[in-house]
Structure 1
Amino acid sequence: MSVWHGAKARRAAGAALAVVALSVSLTACGGGDGGGDKEKSAGSSSSSSTPGDAKPKESDGPTVPDTSKTLATINGSKGLQFVIHTATRDEGGFLTITGTLKNTSSSSETIPIAWNGSETQVRRTGRSLAGFTVVDKAEKKRYYVLRDTDGYPLTTTGISRLDGGAAEPFFAQFPAPPASTTQVDLQMPLMPTATIEIS
């Protein structure tokens, strides 16, 4: 019995040693590449501040709208307001709309659940702006927010409450209408319809 336990312990120790050796060798390989990058960045002037400043701009790019333009302002109840900044066709055949969701009141407001959309597939994914739809009146078609392969809507998610005077950037992505369509209606439950220009 003790011999069997001893053999089992030796096998376990050997396996643990192999795992440690493998992780050390992988770390050594990875460290060589990372060290070269660190040396390169250390050789350049303002190495610590410049890359640090650039990375947030790159990661924030898709979600922060260009606020220099305003295509439409949609005012709802309790001070909630959508300011639409851009409606841009992408090369892949998508229409991406960006804007700012504001609470113009002085009190904290709950985001309406109706903004999640009524489709079963997106209701299970939690709070979102999947209730947005785009209507092409010329073609008599309605477009819904696109979904990824897991059913999550391609729009801003997770906003359930907005403090008084606060603002949050948002986006929503749709199938693009035909190139001949230059104007569409943007609709959100409980909010007025807004007509916007596609660029």
Structure 2
Amino acid sequence: MSVWHGAQARRRTAVALAAVALTVSLTACGGTDDDGKSGADPSSSAPAAEKSKGEDQGKDDGPTVPDTSKTLATINGSNGLQLVIHTAARDDGGFLTVTGTIKNTSSSGQSVPIQWNGSETQVRQTGRSLAGMTLVDKAEKKRYYVLRDTDGYPLTTTGISRVDGKGNESFFAQFPAPPSSTSQVDLQLPLMPTATIEIS
């Protein structure tokens, strides 16, 4: 009888030790509650979430919007379309980005000339764009074309085929940057007069 009681006591001790070990391990790992949520202190993750939110607010993932407070040149076309060039800025990596606004000064809608696409077969196949825009560095006697990506798409605003009456559309076009000694270039777009713009 004493042997049976001793075995029972040993079993109870082993079960108790196993329960304690399990409790300790769950506490150390954080565990989960009945809803499957982490057992970690919610207040400990709050600062990290706030930091992440703050970092995201600092990023600008939206489309490039030109700084319309500046005007480098205004180019008037014969059909009521007007190009207002706002910036021509050098970027990191040896690029020059031109931004501006296409305005329709007439009261009726105007189609954007298909010649603005450029005459190259590759860019014509990518749809409506401003790939026909070029920059001429008269000092260096060089002409710069809109850059293309690896698939042949021009690095410029695409899809503008029409501008509503009194409407406007923002645009950008990216080119190889002229030498740092060049401060002015002539901007040319088919069917529009040439305009000289300052590089910032």
Identify the TM-score tier after normalising by the shorter chain.
Answer: 0.7 to 0.9
Q: Distance in 2 between the 1:143 and 1:118 partners?
A: 15
Note the alpha carbon deviations across 1:62-83, whole angstroms, 9 max, x for none: 5200111000000002110110
Which residue number corresponds to residue 151 of structure 1? Answer: 152
Structure 2 CA distance for aligned equivalents of residues 173 and 121 of structure 1: 17
Q: What code does the residue aligned with 1:85 have?
A: H
Asked whether 1:194 is paired with 2:195, we answer yes
Q: Give the whole-Å Cα distance in 1 for the aligned partners of 2:110 and 2:46.
A: 49
> Which structure: larger Rg?
2
How many residue pairs match? The answer is 156
Match status 1:59 vs 2:61: yes
**Aligned equivalent of 2:131:** 130
Correspondence for 1:119: 120
| 1:165 paired residue number | 166
How far did residue 91 of structure 1 move? 1.5
Identity %: 75
Give, as a single letter, the amino acid of the residue that structure 2 aligns with 1:146: L
Partner of 1:95: 96
What is the rounded CA distance, in whole Å, between the counterparts of 2:91 and 2:72 in structure 1?
18
Confirm or deny that 1:84 pairs with 2:122: no
Query: As a proportion of its length, which structure holds more helix?
Result: 1
**Aligned partner of residue 152 in structure 1, secondary structure:** coil
Query: Does residue 105 of structure 1 match 2:110?
Result: no
Q: Distance in 2 between matches of 1:85 and 1:190?
A: 20
* Mapped partners of 2:178, 2:83: distance in 1: 22
Cα distance between partner residues in 1 of 2:191 and 2:46: 54
The alignment's TM-score, normalised by the length of structure 2, stands at 0.72
Distance apart, 1:40 and its partner CA: 4.5
**Aligned equivalents of 2:156 and 2:180: distance in 1?**
23
Residues 51 and 165 of structure 1: is their aligned pair in 2 closer, same or farther, counting only changes over 3 Å? farther
Q: After TM superposition, what 4+ stretches of structure 1 lie above 3 angstroms from structure 2?
A: none
Distance 2:163 2:55 in 1: 32
Unaligned runs of 5+ in 2: 1-36
1:67 alignment partner AA: T
SS of 1:58's partner is coil
Please tell me the residue identity of whatever aligns with 1:89. Answer: R
Q: How big is each residue's C-alpha offset from its partner over 1:121-148, in whole Å with a ceiling of 9 and x where there is no partner?
A: 1000000010100000000000000000
TM-score by length of 1: 0.72
Return the alpha-carbon distance in structure 2 between the equivalents of residues 126 and 110 of structure 1.
14
CA distance in 1, matches of 2:92, 2:163: 34
**Which residue of structure 1 aligns with residue 70 of structure 2?**
69
RMSD: 2.5
Distance change >3 Å, CA 74–CA 40, structure 1 → 2: farther
